[in-house]
Protein backbone atom coordinates (compact mmCIF):
# COMPACT_ATOMS: atom_id res chain seq x y z
CA UNK A 1 0.00 0.00 0.00
CA UNK A 2 2.95 2.35 0.51
CA UNK A 3 3.68 2.19 -3.22
CA UNK A 4 0.05 3.09 -3.83
CA UNK A 5 0.28 6.14 -1.59
CA UNK A 6 3.50 7.31 -3.21
CA UNK A 7 2.04 6.77 -6.67
CA UNK A 8 -1.20 8.65 -5.98
CA UNK A 9 0.60 11.54 -4.29
CA UNK A 10 3.08 11.70 -7.17
CA UNK A 11 0.20 11.87 -9.63
CA UNK A 12 -1.40 14.62 -7.62
CA UNK A 13 1.77 16.67 -7.81
CA UNK A 14 3.21 15.61 -11.17
CA UNK A 15 0.21 15.71 -13.51
CA UNK A 16 0.04 19.49 -13.76
CA UNK A 17 2.19 19.08 -16.85
CA UNK A 18 -0.84 17.49 -18.52
CA UNK A 19 -3.29 20.11 -17.28
CA UNK A 20 -5.00 22.52 -19.64
CA UNK A 21 -5.77 25.13 -16.99
CA UNK A 22 -2.61 27.20 -17.42
CA UNK A 23 -3.86 29.84 -15.00
CA UNK A 24 -3.23 27.44 -12.11
CA UNK A 25 -0.23 25.33 -13.08
CA UNK A 26 0.33 24.07 -9.52
CA UNK A 27 -3.14 22.45 -9.38
CA UNK A 28 -3.79 23.50 -5.82
CA UNK A 29 -5.92 25.93 -3.84
CA UNK A 30 -4.93 27.42 -0.51
CA UNK A 31 -7.53 28.35 2.11
CA UNK A 32 -5.58 29.68 5.10
CA UNK A 33 -3.80 26.67 6.60
CA UNK A 34 -5.71 24.22 4.34
CA UNK A 35 -4.18 23.31 0.99
CA UNK A 36 -6.13 21.23 -1.52
CA UNK A 37 -4.10 19.51 -4.26
CA UNK A 38 -6.01 18.03 -7.19
CA UNK A 39 -5.40 16.31 -10.51
CA UNK A 40 -7.47 14.51 -13.11
CA UNK A 41 -6.15 11.85 -15.46
CA UNK A 42 -7.25 8.87 -17.54
CA UNK A 43 -7.56 5.71 -15.47
CA UNK A 44 -5.70 3.70 -18.12
CA UNK A 45 -2.55 5.41 -16.76
CA UNK A 46 -2.89 3.38 -13.55
CA UNK A 47 -1.00 0.15 -13.15
CA UNK A 48 -3.41 -2.81 -12.93
CA UNK A 49 -2.38 -3.66 -9.34
CA UNK A 50 -2.88 -0.04 -8.22
CA UNK A 51 -6.32 0.10 -9.84
CA UNK A 52 -7.30 -3.18 -8.20
CA UNK A 53 -6.04 -2.08 -4.78
CA UNK A 54 -8.08 1.13 -4.93
CA UNK A 55 -11.18 -0.37 -6.55
CA UNK A 56 -10.82 1.80 -9.66
CA UNK A 57 -11.76 0.72 -13.16
CA UNK A 58 -8.96 0.97 -15.73
CA UNK A 59 -10.38 2.18 -19.01
CA UNK A 60 -9.57 4.61 -21.78
CA UNK A 61 -13.00 6.14 -21.19
CA UNK A 62 -12.75 6.56 -17.41
CA UNK A 63 -11.03 9.43 -15.67
CA UNK A 64 -9.85 9.71 -12.09
CA UNK A 65 -9.95 12.82 -9.95
CA UNK A 66 -7.44 12.68 -7.11
CA UNK A 67 -7.72 15.16 -4.23
CA UNK A 68 -5.32 15.49 -1.31
CA UNK A 69 -5.96 17.81 1.63
CA UNK A 70 -3.19 19.20 3.81
CA UNK A 71 -3.86 21.10 7.02
CA UNK A 72 -0.87 23.02 8.33
CA UNK A 73 1.30 21.01 5.92
CA UNK A 74 0.15 17.60 7.19
CA UNK A 75 -2.34 15.18 5.60
CA UNK A 76 -5.81 16.04 6.78
CA UNK A 77 -9.19 14.36 6.87
CA UNK A 78 -11.98 15.95 4.88
CA UNK A 79 -15.37 15.38 3.32
CA UNK A 80 -15.02 15.87 -0.43
CA UNK A 81 -17.96 16.18 -2.81
CA UNK A 82 -18.48 17.68 -6.21
CA UNK A 83 -19.64 17.52 -9.79
CA UNK A 84 -18.11 17.33 -13.24
CA UNK A 85 -19.71 19.29 -16.08
CA UNK A 86 -19.12 19.16 -19.82
CA UNK A 87 -19.32 22.11 -22.22
CA UNK A 88 -23.01 21.48 -22.90
CA UNK A 89 -23.73 22.01 -19.21
CA UNK A 90 -24.51 18.35 -18.51
CA UNK A 91 -23.47 17.76 -14.91
CA UNK A 92 -22.69 14.48 -13.13
CA UNK A 93 -22.06 13.99 -9.41
CA UNK A 94 -18.66 12.72 -8.30
CA UNK A 95 -18.60 9.96 -5.71
CA UNK A 96 -15.38 10.17 -3.70
CA UNK A 97 -13.81 7.41 -1.70
CA UNK A 98 -11.11 7.89 0.88
CA UNK A 99 -7.81 6.05 0.52
CA UNK A 100 -5.56 6.05 3.60
CA UNK A 101 -2.10 4.59 3.71
CA UNK A 102 0.62 5.15 6.30
CA UNK A 103 -0.57 8.63 7.21
CA UNK A 104 -1.36 9.79 3.67
CA UNK A 105 -5.01 10.47 2.81
CA UNK A 106 -6.45 10.78 -0.70
CA UNK A 107 -9.96 11.22 -2.04
CA UNK A 108 -10.58 9.70 -5.46
CA UNK A 109 -13.56 9.67 -7.81
CA UNK A 110 -14.06 8.32 -11.31
CA UNK A 111 -15.83 10.06 -14.19
CA UNK A 112 -16.60 9.28 -17.83
CA UNK A 113 -14.47 10.58 -20.69
CA UNK A 114 -16.51 10.22 -23.85
CA UNK A 115 -14.45 12.40 -26.19
CA UNK A 116 -11.69 15.01 -26.09
CA UNK A 117 -13.24 17.96 -24.28
CA UNK A 118 -12.82 20.49 -21.51
CA UNK A 119 -14.55 19.54 -18.26
CA UNK A 120 -15.37 21.78 -15.32
CA UNK A 121 -14.91 20.31 -11.86
CA UNK A 122 -16.75 21.97 -8.96
CA UNK A 123 -15.60 20.70 -5.58
CA UNK A 124 -16.55 21.24 -1.98
CA UNK A 125 -13.93 20.28 0.59
CA UNK A 126 -15.10 20.36 4.19
CA UNK A 127 -12.47 20.15 6.90
CA UNK A 128 -12.80 21.11 10.53
CA UNK A 129 -16.44 22.10 10.00
CA UNK A 130 -15.50 24.69 7.37
CA UNK A 131 -16.41 24.31 3.69
CA UNK A 132 -14.03 25.37 0.94
CA UNK A 133 -15.29 25.57 -2.63
CA UNK A 134 -13.09 25.37 -5.69
CA UNK A 135 -13.61 25.04 -9.39
CA UNK A 136 -11.23 24.24 -12.23
CA UNK A 137 -11.30 23.32 -15.89
CA UNK A 138 -9.28 20.55 -17.44
CA UNK A 139 -9.04 19.25 -20.95
CA UNK A 140 -9.32 15.46 -21.05
CA UNK A 141 -8.73 12.89 -23.76
CA UNK A 142 -9.83 9.27 -23.93
CA UNK A 143 -6.75 7.08 -23.43
CA UNK A 144 -5.36 4.59 -25.85
pLDDT tier for residue 1 given thresholds of 50, 70 and 90? low
pLDDT tens-digit series, residues 82-140: 999 999 999 999 999 999 988 889 999 999 998 999 999 999 999 999 999 999 999 99
Chain-centroid distance of CA 68 in Å reads: 8
- Residue 74 CB burial class (10 angstroms; 0-12, 13-18, ≥19): exposed
The CATH architecture assigned to 2-140 reads: Sandwich (2.60)
Share of the chain above pLDDT 70, in %: 82
- Give the residue extent of every domain in the chain: 2-140
Mean of all residue pLDDT scores within the chain: 86
Amino acid sequence: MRRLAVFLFSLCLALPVLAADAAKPERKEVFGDVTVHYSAFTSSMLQPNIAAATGLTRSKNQGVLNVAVLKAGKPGMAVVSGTVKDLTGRSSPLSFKQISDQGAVYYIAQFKIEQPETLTFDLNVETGGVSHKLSFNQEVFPGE
